[in-house]
Structure 1
């Protein structure tokens, strides 16, 4: 199965995980998803310094700068498999 199909299946599977992941894992999933679909972050982040959720998401995504879309998609697939109890 090609990577894009695996990624799309993992995105769907991430919504039906047996238990809700920690905030740290949720941020990792978000960042890998954004990097895999959009590529490098292209803005300065939220303008409201008190929007802590948006700031955390932006920072998590920015940490992946330079990672290829394919690498991010593969890491996302692997992480969802692990969360579902797979390898």
Structure 2
């Protein structure tokens, strides 16, 4: 079950003044998926699904990080984004 801080971070990310960079969005996605589902559990999307491939690859790079660590990293990254807006 997600911690209260993790749930609050999810809410905070939606209140950012400007949209984060694609790199930051991929990192948020990957950390969120790792925190909520653990290691990648799906096949990589087809060759022409560039967005899907980027998201899958970002999540795959998180492999081996515990769900608790991914949650903590997600919270810290959201705080960093909020502080730098």
Q: Give 4+ residue runs of structure 1 displaced > 3 Å after superposition.
A: none
Q: Secondary structure at the match of 2:3?
A: helix
Do structure 1's residue 22 and structure 2's residue 21 form an aligned pair? yes
Pairs within 5 Å for 1:5-84: 5-46=4-45, 48-84=46-82
Deviation at 1:7, TM superposition (A): 0.4
Distance in 1 (CA, whole Å) between partners of 2:64 and 2:50 is 24
Deviation at 1:43, TM superposition (A): 2.0
Q: CA RMSD in A?
A: 1.3
Deviation at 1:18, TM superposition (A): 1.8
Deviation at 1:61, TM superposition (A): 0.1
Show structure 1 runs of 5+ residues with no match.
none
Deviation at 1:45, TM superposition (A): 1.4
Post-superposition Cα deviations, 1:3-37, rounded to whole Å, max 9, x if no partner, equal: 71100000111111121110000000000000000
Under a length normalisation based on structure 1, what TM-score does the superposition of the two structures give?
Answer: 0.90
Deviation at 1:84, TM superposition (A): 0.6
Distance in 2 (CA, whole Å) between partners of 1:26 and 1:45 is 19
